[in-house]
A = this chain, B = another copy of it.
Amino acid sequence: MTATASTVSPPGFAAGIWPCTTRLDPGGGISVGGWSLGELARRHGTPLYILDEADVRYRCRAYRDAMPGAEIAYAGKAFLCRAVADWIGEEGLSLDTCSAGELAVAQAVGFPAGRVLLHGNAKTPDDLRAATGYGVGRVVLDSAGEIARLAAITPDKQRVMLRVAPGVDAGTHASVAAGGEDQKFGFALSSGAAADAVTRVLRQPELELTGLHCHLGSQITQLPAYELAARRLIALTAAVHAEHGLALPELNLGGGHAVPCTDGDPEFDLQGFADRIRRVIRDECASFRLPVPRLIVEPGRAIISRAMVTLYRVVGIKQTPGGRTFVAVDGGMSDNPRPVLYGSGYEAFLPRATNAARPFLATVVGKHCESGDVIVRDVPLADPVSGDLLVTPATGAYGHSMANNYNGVPRPPVIFCRDGHARVVVRRESFEDLTARDAP
């Protein structure tokens, strides 16, 4: 299997942001998983999420190849449905969940409980009961109250990790920066809260502490941030060893590995990360005379983002007096809220012959009643007209998972393509669905 998309690279068609089976036809059309996007749009309507199964499996294997021996846990928050949970299980990955709802999806497909982790800064009693009822492999404890609450409801023995706020700034958007200490997640390292939490856990005979966890944020490219976090967690692991005589067998560095969404975005150096982290762990453990713990990483976006493209239909074109061209499509912030939430950038592409006209810079907007409902800013498009299909790549993460029904817009279906086979894995929401919870 190849990870490159095509040798042809018109604007917006940088190989690194498309699913690995993407092919650019001579006529300008695009196929994914052996299916023409135009044909899929005709059959299923728009907007439409297309997921390339081969790409998901390719990313899973790339992680396993780069980090043999490590536990790779897919962060389901990026996109989770029954079929994806199935594949993740088949590829030998673990699953990172953060609510009873995500646990229910995993349990519905019989995902092996031992390979499930439950996260969350505010796990409710229902979340904790769902986890112990399922028998999840590890609950990642996030606050002092949670330690006692989990111990109280654990029937037999529950393996746990502790989320540590390591005080590492990984240079990400403020809404997703989670490595510092002045945020809601975890036990702060510098104040001694993390060390204190270890002691509290060890006092609970129902809980078995397997290691420390941290998560630095999202779209991180800086490998030194991970190295620094690893050093700090190993220092605490060593202190636990010295004080309690316990060698924690696991070390979880979370996820946040950057994924390019636009042409020119930096790529995460997965092999470099794997090599450098392995070396740091080995050297630090040697200096503390600690056994080397098993590394856990939790990629979500890095597994699923590039596997998906979103298809829209152009509804209208508008020039403003200020010289801006708006290309309005039949979806928007309800199926991809990341641009309005974080100012995230995407590419857009018209899957047809582009020779007819010179591209000009357009702003692709959605159909929602907000001027902030922008999908892509300043993207080169060649003479778009109403009815054109428009594709945005790299929308697999935090698109469908954050989708809503704003303005009464039903959520699009998810179609999986593989080797010329296409199937509806999540059906389109209907108007009836919109009022299904309403009293008559």
Asked if A97 is an interface residue, CB under 8 A from chain B, the answer is yes
Complex interface: stretch among A235-243, A302-310, A317-325: A317-325
Q: Which residues of B contact A145 (CB under 8 A)?
A: 315-317, 386
**Chain B CB within 10 Å — which of A80, A217, A368, A401 has the most?**
A368
Given A407-B77, A410-B101, A429-B437, is A318 in contact with B184 using a C-beta cutoff of 8 Å? Answer: yes
B410 contacts A439, C-beta separation under 8 Å: no
A119 touches B369 (CB 8 A): yes
Taking CB atoms and an 8 Å cut-off, the chain A residues in 173-222 that contact chain B are: 174-178, 181-185, 188, 190-191, 193, 217
B188 and A320: CB pair below 8 A? yes
Return chain B residues, CB-CB under 8 Å to A433: 436-437
Residue A246 interfacial (CB < 8 Å) = no
Decide if A8 is an interface residue (CB 8 Å cutoff): no
Tell me the chain A residues, 347-383 only, with Cβ under 8 Å from chain B: 363, 365-373
Number of copies of this chain that the complex holds: 2
Q: Residues of B contacting A429 with CB < 8 Å? A: 437
Contact of A99 among B363, B367, B373, B413 (CB under 8 A): B367
Contact B77 A406 (CB under 8 A): yes
Q: What are the residues of chain B within 8 A of A318 when measuring CB–CB?
A: 121, 143, 184
Determine if A315 and B124 form an interchain contact, defined as CB atoms under 8 angstroms apart: yes
Q: How many residues of A are counted as interface, with CB atoms below 8 angstroms from the partner's CB atoms?
A: 98
Stretch at the interface among A60-68, A151-159, A273-281, A420-428: A420-428
Residues of chain A touching chain B, judged by Cβ–Cβ distance below 8 Å, are 76-77, 80-83, 97-105, 108, 119-124, 142-143, 145-146, 165, 174-178, 181-185, 188, 190-191, 193, 217, 313, 315-318, 320-322, 324, 326, 328-330, 332, 337, 340-341, 363, 365-373, 386, 401-411, 413, 423-429, 431, 433-440
Interchain residue pairs A-B with the least CB separation, the first 8: A175-B372, A101-B408, A122-B328, A102-B408, A122-B367, A182-B322, A104-B431, A404-B404
Could you write out 21 A-B pairs with CB less than 8 Å apart? Answer: A97-B408, A99-B407, A101-B405, A101-B431, A103-B408, A104-B408, A108-B435, A122-B329, A122-B365, A122-B366, A122-B367, A176-B371, A177-B371, A181-B320, A181-B321, A184-B318, A184-B373, A188-B321, A337-B337, A402-B406, A411-B437
Known: A82-B440, A99-B408, A145-B317. 13 other contacts (CB 8 A): A77-B408, A83-B438, A101-B410, A102-B407, A119-B369, A123-B367, A124-B315, A143-B318, A182-B324, A184-B318, A191-B321, A401-B406, A433-B437
